Chain A
């Protein structure tokens, strides 16, 4: 299988992003204020800079990579593991919104612990107790101790349940 030149991919991705930023900056409302370049100027500078250095990187770094080759970043198993941890992070975020931080923190801590343990054996009761402690300490320290609100969860609001 032919190896992918990562620098060429990077250049293409950021070149496309820079074109999008440049076009999108045209939608910024512009009102002339005395002798200053206006709100479109810097986004366009950023877009032009990104495009320029994407191209330069493809020319110089891409050529170097094509010549010398590069190690694969991750193997197939590695990418699957990456997908798992990012998916878990997404589940945690969604849980925070729907069941609130308190329960999400307990669930999230247990979920991350279970995943990050890898091949090691852990005590499930200890992991459960650890998750409950982390969730409760974070939630009550912030909401009761610091009076900083944390997400309470749309589910409980819908059901009309008031959490402590």
Chain B
């Protein structure tokens, strides 16, 4: 495949292909930045067009839309505190506080550079070792995937601010919500109460728009906090970062890259999960965990590097095994099928140029997007100069529209309202919403893997602890919950002893 890379780069650099790549990358960026919409929507809209286009042109447009969608999702998270998609939930935690502190330009610069590093490095890793990584993914069974999902949730619960018990309560609530709809294994209906709209379960966009967007606007209005953050117009030009900013955060960047790639190449996982795990890990290994959530650089680096590294990661199982790494790669796989291609282990051998082309588009598109974002960055914060009442009234309308378009059902619109009320209730009770979201996203996977694991082992649940990798994940999961409680107790007893 590496041998075919120069030819693939040549195809991408052809004037028409290059222009289409830029156009789709920018549209993907805009869709990713609007709460409720995503690059996935852009790919869905492009799919019917691919029937009439050549394979090369189709993939230039589709992959550029994919890369642009994930790259742009941080913009809304940083500027208005509402994630463009699940991939940037973690970015809200430090990106928006940084904007509130009057450092929107810095937050945007970190987001742009973090996305760029994540995309490019993951792409290079994917080109060099996609075969080897795919073998690792294949060697893991449902036991390891179950333990990994559990570990991801407990890591986020253990590191969320406030009470661990409330975090775990939120996680179990997310798990309960993920059970709504048809059961993944036997197709039995659960908690649908005869409502056909619930047969397919609850859409993640609907939950995201209710718990994050509506809750945030309603709470801000109720607390009379309807002010727009100040804009640091003086530092809007250039890259906005010094080399020191990158070198100081190198450890976070490298760890987040590894997390993003690893989560990305696991089938069914994606950027929506990797950004939260990377955020949790960054907080855990930082000397000042108390600074997270206040507009702290490593928080943004961690989420933006990891969610974009997930793009390269997600392409590995898609190209090497024919297994989608996340929801958007399912659409890319559909495009392959439309073009009469057979994704799977023989894909690279039979279509080396096309495999190389996908990576070449990702690489060149990432470079093009970073240049465009840096050139246009100075205009992004002007969004914050818009009066609060105009900006957020339009955002609310778009959020409800996004919920409708995700399922084309009015029921989803009413659900946004219900989840908005749930978000307010959780805020009143001091319950964190991140464990709820992560547990909801992973809920169906956890259940499927657990039941598959039991079934494959003929009902023997000990397989979850006798397989070494699964055991390691489970031990980390237990430590993630118990660790902070023990550390807190030790610190308290030491402080009491000192006081004596």
Given contacts A56-B165, A151-B410, are A134 and B397 in contact (CB under 8 A)? yes
Can you pick out 21 interface pairs between chain A and chain B where the beta carbons lie within 8 Å of each other? A6-B430, A28-B189, A31-B188, A35-B455, A36-B455, A37-B450, A42-B179, A42-B450, A46-B176, A49-B172, A56-B165, A61-B163, A61-B165, A93-B417, A96-B400, A108-B396, A112-B389, A114-B389, A127-B390, A134-B393, A142-B401
B186-A38 in contact (CB<8A): yes
Task: Decide if A163 is an interface residue (CB 8 Å cutoff).
Answer: no
Q: Name the contact of B404 in the complex, choosing from A7, A96, A108 (C-beta under 8 A).
A: A96
**In the assembly, what is the distance between CA of A55 and CA of B470, in Å?**
30
Please state if A149 and B408 are interface contacts (CB–CB under 8 Å): yes
Is B394 engaged at the interface, CB distance under 8 Å to the other chain?
A: yes
Establish whether residues B458 and A35, one from each chain, have CB atoms under 8 Å apart when the complex forms.
yes
For B417-450 the 0/1 string (1 means CB < 8 A from A) is 1001100110111110000000000010011001
Q: Taking A7-B429, A89-B417, A89-B420 as contacts, is the C-beta distance between A39 and B394 under 8 angstroms?
A: no
Residue B202, interface by CB 8 Å: no
* Cβ–Cβ contact A6 & B428, under 8 A: yes
Whether the pair A37, B218 counts as a contact (CB closer than 8 A) is no
CB distance from B175 to the nearest CB of A (A): 4
Bound complex: CA A120 to CA B224 (Å): 12
Among B185, B190, B218, B451, the residue within 8 A (CB) of A82 is B218
- Specify which of B163, B183, B396 is in contact with A57 (CB 8 Å cutoff): B163
Do A21 and B176 touch (CB < 8 A)?
A: yes
Residue interface mask A87-129, B partner, CB < 8 A = 1? 0011011001100010001001111111111101010000100
Please indicate the chain A residues that have their CB under 8 angstroms from the CB of B427 in the complex: 73
A85 and B168 contact, Cβ closer than 8 Å, known pairs A9-B429, A112-B397: no
Given known A-B contacts A39-B183, A57-B165, A61-B163, A138 and B397 have beta carbons under 8 A apart: yes
**Which residues of chain B are near A130, meaning CB under 8 Å?**
390
Which single residue of chain A is at the shortest CB-CB distance from B157?
A: A53
How far, in Å, is A108 (CB) from chain B's closest CB? 5
List residues of B (176-199) whose CB comes within 8 Å of A's CBs.
176, 179, 183, 185-186, 188-191
Task: Check if A90 sits within 8 Å of B176, measured CB to CB.
Answer: no
A147 to B47, CA, bound (A): 13
Q: B323 at interface (Cβ–Cβ under 8 A)? A: no
Interface membership of A86, Cβ < 8 A: yes
How distant is the Cα of A105 from the Cα of B399 in the complex, in angstroms? 11
Contact of A150 among B389, B392, B405 (CB under 8 A): B405
State whether B190 touches A39 (Cβ < 8 A).
Answer: yes
Interface string of A47-87 (1 = CB under 8 A from B): 10110011011001100000000000110001101101110
Known A49-B172, A49-B175: A112·B190 in contact at CB below 8 Å = no
Contact B393 A10 (CB under 8 A): no
Q: Which residues of B contact A57 (CB under 8 A)?
A: 163, 165-166, 169
Q: How far is it, in angstroms, between the C-alpha of A135 and the C-alpha of B168 when the chains are bound?
A: 41
Interface status of B238 (Cβ within 8 A of chain A): no
B393 to A113, Cβ gap below 8 A? yes
Cβ–Cβ < 8 Å partners of A35 in chain B: 454-455, 457-459
Q: Mark B42-65, 1 if CB is under 8 A from A, else 0.
A: 000100000000000000000000
Q: Which of B373-400 contact A (CB under 8 A)?
A: 387-390, 392-394, 396-398, 400
B217 within 8 A of A: yes
Interchain CB contact (< 8 A) of B221 among A46, A116, A147: A116
Kindly list chain B residues whose C-beta atoms are within 8 Å of the C-beta of A81.
Answer: 221-222, 224
Question: What CA separation (Å) do A17 and B421 show in the bound complex?
Answer: 16
B223 interface residue per 8 A CB criterion: yes
Tell me the complex Cα distance, A111–B429, Å: 29
Q: Quick one: closest B residue to A83, CB to CB?
A: B222
Flag whether A155 is at the interface (Cβ < 8 A): no
**Is B223's CB under 8 angstroms from A78's CB?**
yes
Q: B170 — nearest CB in chain A belongs to which residue?
A: A53
CB contacts (< 8 Å) of A36 on chain B: these are 185, 451-452, 454-455, 459
Q: Is B333 an interface residue (CB 8 A)?
A: no
Q: Which residues between 211 and 226 of chain B lie within 8 Å of chain A, taking CB atoms?
A: 214, 217-219, 221-224, 226
Measured between C-beta atoms, what is the minimum distance from B19 to chain A in Å? 20
- A86-B185 contact, Cβ under 8 Å, with A10-B431, A113-B389, A116-B392: no
Q: Which residue of A lies closest to B410 (CB)?
A: A97
Assess the A39–B166 pair: CB atoms within 8 A.
no
Is B414's beta carbon under 8 Å from chain A? yes
Closest to B193 in A: A24
Across the interface, which residues of A come within 8 angstroms of B45, CB to CB?
146-148
Question: With contacts A116-B393, A118-B224, A150-B401 known, is A33 near B176, CB below 8 A?
Answer: no
A159 to chain B, nearest CB (A): 19
Rounded to whole angstroms, the CA-CA distance of A92 and B231 in the bound complex is 32
**Residues of A127-145 contacting chain B, CB below 8 A:** 127, 130, 134-135, 138, 142
Known: A85-B218, A118-B389. 18 other contacts (CB 8 A): A24-B191, A31-B186, A33-B185, A37-B454, A41-B451, A42-B443, A46-B179, A49-B172, A49-B175, A86-B421, A89-B214, A96-B404, A97-B413, A112-B397, A142-B401, A142-B405, A148-B45, A150-B401
B390 touches A29 (CB 8 A): no
A34: interface (CB < 8 Å): yes
Smallest distance from the beta carbon of A135 to chain B beta carbons, Å? Answer: 8
Chain B: which residue is nearest A65 at the CB level? B430
**From residue A78, how far is it (CB to closest CB) to chain B in Å?**
5
Alpha-carbon distance between A115 and B417 when the two chains are bound, in angstroms: 17
Nearest 8 pairs between A and B by C-beta? A112-B393, A49-B172, A35-B459, A10-B429, A46-B176, A116-B389, A82-B222, A57-B165
CB distance from A157 to the nearest CB of B (A): 13
B223 cross-chain contacts in A, Cβ below 8 A: 74, 78
Task: Find out whether the CB atom of B172 lies under 8 angstroms from the CB atom of A46.
Answer: yes
Query: Within 8 Å CB of B408, what residues of A?
Result: 148-149
- A13 to B338, alpha carbons, bound, how many Å? 50
CB <8 Å contact, B186 and A39: yes
Q: Bound state CA distance, A49 and B421, in angstroms? A: 22
